[in-house]
A and B are shown apart, each in its own frame.
Chain A
Amino acid sequence: MWKFLHRLASPPHFYRIAINLIPWFAMPGLLLLAYGTYAGLFVAPADYQQGDAFRIIYVHVPAAYLSMMAYMIMAVSAGIGLIWRMKLAHAVAAAVAPLGASFTFLALATGSIWGRPMWGTWWEWGDPRLTSELVLLFLYFGYMALRNSIDDTSKADRASAVLAMVGAVNVPIIHFSVEWWSSLHQGSTLVRKGGPAMDAAMLYPLLAMIFGFTLVFGALLLRRLRAEVLFRERRKRWVRDLILSGNGKR
């Protein structure tokens, strides 16, 4: 097991393995998304209060969950990179940031579109859930800006790792904001005492979307990570050999 992990952490080995892993994430992920989209739009009944407007949950919840999940991946790999000086871990943090920012934006945008007819407002300053999620977006932006402003890769790795880990304090704040303080945002429907507060016909498509989003996110992360590894190792011999051997396109 340790030997396998050690081998995986070596950039050339990871680069070769990752290409074979991607379809195992992408295929079931896309299947789940196809089922979830169809069932979410046509099979699930309309909500008793919100009508069809509730269906935005099938994008909003997976995006919001992944926005936080991606940040935790970023912060943990930044920490691993800092402590164990592991290059691949820093590469993971660098590769996941734009994905996390995209999902954060998607969660904010879908929430805003839903909020206008349901709550009666696009955006409310001062709401703890909304504000902390916006802070998450700015943390991603800050992380990416900091990386881009430092030319030396290992310096950029270390400086941005500190920012990523400091910002991790925001993730539990986002999650618990609706419990700790009064908020316009409702509490969690899925993770609550007494089980999910949702009809099964609505719940299964949602679970499919959550797992589908996660798997596609995994495939995208592997793709980005391959590119990141290749760029970081561009002066290494194995990359030169790869290109000369004609396998550079893979």
Chain B
Amino acid sequence: MTPRRQRMLAVGLALGGIALAAGLTLRALDDNMMFFIAVSDVVAGEYPADRNFRVGGLVVDGSVRREPGSLQMRFRITDLRCELPVSYTGVLPDLFREGQGVVAHGRMAVDGEFVADTILAKHDENYMAPEVAESLAEHVSEQTAGLSQGSGECNNP
């Protein structure tokens, strides 16, 4: 074996080992790598009870209720299977609106409501001119009208 081939082999083996180690580490840390927990998992009770966590979902159409004269508000979020009531007091990001993806940071109250201390808006990968978005919304809304009303099974315990 020439020295060059030896070096090639050493580099190849080292890279393979590192990739394997990184892959296994990330697998082991999978839950911790998640930025937020899905609504269904939270409803099913799969969330850390002893600390704050983040939950992500879409704001249910027509669910936003604001307390008059304060920054307090309530709304529900969904992952199209389960819904979770959220309460929040504070300023919202620009992108917050009904139907929009949001990530809420906070904890579960005893009555099953998620009390958020931070609301972040999640943007999707679609970029459109306003006119295009309008004409698209007219066509799509008819097809997906029933979607937010829980088309899947929610395993509420």
A residues with a Cβ closer than 8 A to B are 45-50, 53-54, 57, 79, 82-84, 117-121, 124, 126-128, 162, 165-166, 168-169, 173, 177, 180-184, 186-189, 192, 197-199, 201-202
A-B contact pairs, 17 of them (CB 8 A): A45-B131, A118-B95, A119-B93, A119-B123, A120-B93, A121-B120, A166-B14, A166-B18, A169-B22, A181-B33, A182-B34, A182-B37, A184-B35, A186-B122, A187-B124, A189-B126, A197-B127
Residue from the list A120, A162, A181, A187 in contact with B34, Cβ < 8 A: A181
Interface SS, A side: loop
Residue B130, interface by CB 8 Å = yes
A183: B residues at CB distance < 8 A: 35
Contact of B11 among A82, A124, A169 (CB under 8 A): A82
Is the pair B127, A199 in contact by a Cβ cutoff of 8 Å?
A: yes
CB pair B35–A47 under 8 Å, yes or no, is: no
On whether A46 and B129 interact (CB within 8 A), knowing A121-B120, A173-B22, the answer reads yes
A199 / chain B contacts, CB cutoff of 8 Å: 127-129, 132
- New A-B contacts (8) at CB < 8 Å, excluding given A82-B7, A181-B34: A118-B93, A118-B94, A119-B121, A119-B122, A120-B93, A120-B94, A120-B119, A199-B132
- Nearest 10 Cβ contacts at the A-B interface: A120-B93, A48-B133, A45-B129, A198-B127, A181-B33, A189-B125, A48-B130, A169-B22, A197-B126, A187-B125
* CB–CB A120/B36 < 8 A: no
Interface residues in B, total, Cβ within 8 A: 41
- Chain B: which residue is nearest A49 at the CB level? B95
Interface contacts (Cβ under 8 Å), in number, total 117
Closest to B130 in A: A48
From known contacts A45-B130, A118-B95, A182-B34, infer whether A165 and B125 are also in contact, taking CB-CB under 8 Å.
no
Are B33 and A46 in contact, with the CB atoms below 8 A?
no
Report if A128-B94 is in contact (Cβ < 8 Å); known contacts: A199-B127, A199-B128: no
User: Which A residues are CB-close (under 8 A) to B15?
Assistant: 165, 168
Interface string of B123-154 (1 = CB under 8 A from A): 11111111111100000000000000000000
Once the chains are docked, how many angstroms separate the CA of A144 from the CA of B30? 31
Residues of B contacting A182 with CB < 8 Å?
Answer: 34-38, 56
Task: Give Cα A169 to B23, complex, Å.
Answer: 9
Contact code string B8-21 (vs A, CB < 8 Å = 1, else 0): 10010011001100
Contact B127 A181 (CB under 8 A): no
A47-B33 in contact (CB<8A): no
Contacts of A169 on B, CB cut-off 8 Å?
18-19, 22
Chain A residues closer than 8 Å to B109, beta-carbon distance: none
Q: How long is the Cα–Cα vector from A162 to B131 in the complex, in angstroms?
A: 52
Q: Known contacts A120-B121, A124-B120; is A202 also within 8 Å of B127 by CB?
A: yes
A171 to B: closest C-beta gap in Å? 11
Q: Smallest distance from the beta carbon of A163 to chain B beta carbons, Å?
A: 11
How many Å lie between the Cα of A166 and that of B18 in the bound state? Answer: 7
A165 B94 Cβ-Cβ under 8 A: no
Q: Are B129 and A127 in contact (CB under 8 A)?
A: no
B33 close to A83 (CB less than 8 A): no
- The residue in chain A whose Cβ has the minimal distance to the Cβ of B56 is A182
Interface centre among A46, A79, A184, A189 (most CB of B within 10 A): A184
